[in-house]
Amino acid sequence: MGKNHRHQKNLKFEKAKVKLKTKKGKTLPKGQNITDTSFKVKKIIVREQLKSHERDEIVSRRKLNVKELLSRLQHHNSTVRQAAIQELKEILQSYPPELLSAHLSILLQGISSLALDKERDIRKDTLKALSLLLGPLSTYQLAPFAEILVSYLCCTMTHINPSIKEDSLNFLDVLIHSCPSLLSKNTHKILPNFLDMISTHSHTSIPRQLTTTLNSRNTTIKWRIKVLQRLSSIFISIINDLKSRKNEGIKSEARRIFVDDKTTFLNCSHENNLAIWHISDDDRVVGYGGLRDEDFKCYVKSLMPLMMESWIEVRPKDVDGKQGSLWSQEAAEMLGVVVRILINLLDILEMFEGEEISGWFRVEVLEGVGKFLMGGFPYGLIKSVNQKGRKGRIKRQDDFGEGESDGNGLIEENLGLGLIFVGLSCREVGLGKREKEELERVVQYVCDQLNNWKCNEAAASSALCKFLRVLFLKASKNLYRNGISLVNILRRTISAACRQPKRELQSQLFAILGEIVLDHRLNELQR
């Protein structure tokens, strides 16, 4: 039974198979069953290669014009972008700026956009090209494009990529060198970014807090110093712009025109047609680059604690006012930049001579200067002491360990600090005991420096003359009123002017003495 069942199953399986054709099919003709290895060649023509450039057209070494190179700046390949910016840089070096004026707008837009590129080498070449482009141009030529430059600068300063944010300081250096006047007119857009670069703010009642820089090429202290140095440069550009306006006879303050519901006509004309007036319904607009009084006050209130906190982190722990404090190089740099910023703020306020805001600034800053800066006055710098270790390696003791004090290392900083304290105290009617002692210490320090002045640095000589000018011409009456005599320092100044071998410093000292003689209000010094 089992056998027959298996036989039936095999028969069904064989019937179900597909029967193949047994009939003979067609065959290929002879010679066509061989693989053909021959191939044909055809030229590929790119339309862009057929373009012909005019003789006077600006082209690169690869025969690409400006528009073609600018289009390649947005290419997805970083190598193409870098090659394009390098060729643009060569064009800017080879051709006069008059020929490039027709492409100025697109050049500024295209080159500035690469300041946000993720590749560091491309950003470096971009800043070089931008410096070449802006260098020959005047302020009037760049004025219509100020918004482009400032916008990209703000984008780099607030970028989420720390590397781009660090390079924004180099971008700012290029603009400060090429067009400082345009920056001074847009400081209300730029200044807040400096605070965000070194601090955080939670938009609550809690004040700003310093941030720590991680995963960066710079340490936190060096980063803060770099940011504050650029902030000082911005303030200097504001001061120079205000001075140039005054020298040209143009009023520094904007003309204020108040508009209300009853106003039907605005008379914008003026006898001096060179000035451009701004219409505003706010009666408290000042000339700090577009900042208002309240904005300026808020900025100083935020900036001062941040500078003092940065100062506290690097200052020496053992502050001794009599012997002077030993400072490391980083501490000396922080001291210098803080002093320069405070002097810049004093110079800006002096331009406007506003009693209200000047009084507010004096109260706001004087306490911090006396508490944190004057405690160790005068300051000295640690000389580098090299010692050999066990294996013959040289150990540097710049920041720690014992070192020799260089009392003449921080003359400019000490004179600047004295200038700040005298400038803030000169209008105080009644000076306290502590303030008098600190002022006497400052005067005595300058007397000692005048006794044997050997510093040949121009910056230190300028700081000395600026201090003496403020001390004698502005602060002397108030100091005499508070019982502080300036007879000794006046004699030292006369003696130093007579024996000074450097003619430039000698002429400046004699100019100060001449102003003292001619000013009838300085009776105490003329006796």
The structural domains of the chain, with segments of one domain joined by +, span 57-178
Find the range with the poorest average confidence among 194-198, 204-208, 367-371, 451-455: 204-208
pLDDT at 58: 80
From 212, 214, 139, 208, select the one nearest 177 (Cα to Cα).
139
pLDDT at 217: 65
Residue with the bigger pLDDT between 301 and 277: it is 301
The answer to whether residues 237 and 139 touch, using CB atoms and an 8 Å cutoff, is no
pLDDT at 168: 94
pLDDT digits (tens, 9 = 90+) for 16-38: 776 666 666 677 676 666 777 88
What would the two tokens of residue 460 be? 């230190």
Q: Is the pLDDT of residue 391 over 50?
A: no
Measure the N-to-C terminal CA separation of the chain; round to a whole number of Å: 150
**Alpha helices in 135-161, H assignment, sequence order:** 139-142, 146-157
Q: Is the pLDDT of residue 373 over 80?
A: yes
The answer to whether residues 394 and 462 touch, using CB atoms and an 8 Å cutoff, is no
pLDDT digits (tens, 9 = 90+) for 57-110: 788 888 888 888 999 999 999 999 999 999 999 999 988 888 888 889 999 999
pLDDT at 252: 42
Confidence of residue 227 (pLDDT cuts 50, 70, 90): very high
pLDDT at 383: 59
Question: Rounded to whole angstroms, how far apart are CA atoms 285 and 292?
Answer: 5
**pTM of the entire predicted model:** 0.77
Question: Rounded to whole angstroms, how far apart are CA atoms 311 and 325?
Answer: 14
Question: Rounded to whole angstroms, how far apart are CA atoms 373 and 196?
Answer: 24
Q: What average pLDDT does range 112-119 have in this prediction?
A: 94
Long-range contacts of 91-95, Cβ-Cβ distance < 8 Å, separation of 24 or more:
91/58, 91/60, 91/66, 92/129, 92/132, 92/133, 93/132, 95/58
pLDDT at 400: 39
From 408, 422, 395, select the one nearest 486 (Cα to Cα).
422
Q: Does domain 57-178 have CATH number 1.20.1250.20?
A: no
Confidence of residue 394 (pLDDT cuts 50, 70, 90): very low
Q: Is the pLDDT of residue 283 over 90?
A: no
Query: Which residues pair with residue 326 across a beta bridge?
Result: 380
Question: Rounded to whole angstroms, how far apart are CA atoms 479 and 308?
Answer: 27
Kindly provide the residue ranges of all beta strands, DSSP E only, lying in 356-469, ordered along the sequence.
379-382, 386-388, 394-396, 405-406
Question: Rounded to whole angstroms, how far apart are CA atoms 349 and 474?
Answer: 15
Residue with the bigger pLDDT between 34 and 112: it is 112
Question: Rounded to whole angstroms, how far apart are CA atoms 162 and 198?
Answer: 12
Residue with the bigger pLDDT between 50 and 331: it is 331
pLDDT at 418: 92
Confidence of residue 340 (pLDDT cuts 50, 70, 90): very high
Q: Is the pLDDT of residue 426 over 80?
A: no
Q: Is the pLDDT of residue 401 over 70?
A: no
- Residue type present at position 188: H
Confidence of residue 216 (pLDDT cuts 50, 70, 90): low
Question: Rounded to whole angstroms, how far apart are CA atoms 236 and 344?
Answer: 7
Task: Report the chain's mean pLDDT, rounded to a whole number.
Answer: 80
SS3 310: helix
Q: What average pLDDT does range 406-425 have in this prediction?
A: 83
pLDDT at 337: 94
Q: Is the pLDDT of residue 277 over 50?
A: no
pLDDT at 16: 76
| CA angle, residues 44, 47, 51, in degrees to nearest 5 | 130
The answer to whether residues 468 and 509 touch, using CB atoms and an 8 Å cutoff, is yes
Q: What average pLDDT does range 362-372 have in this prediction?
A: 83
Give residues with Cβ within 8 angstroms of 284, minimum separation 6. Answer: 292, 293, 294
Residue with the bigger pLDDT between 77 and 360: it is 77
- Per-residue DSSP letter, 416: H
What would the two tokens of residue 444 be? 């005595």
Find the range with the poorest average confidence among 73-82, 168-177, 359-368, 433-442: 359-368
pLDDT digits (tens, 9 = 90+) for 467-497: 999 999 888 888 888 888 888 999 999 998 8
Question: Rounded to whole angstroms, how far apart are CA atoms 19 and 264?
Answer: 106
Q: What average pLDDT does range 208-231 have in this prediction?
A: 82
What would the two tokens of residue 58 be? 């600006």
Question: Rounded to whole angstroms, how far apart are CA atoms 9 and 7?
Answer: 5
SS3 380: strand
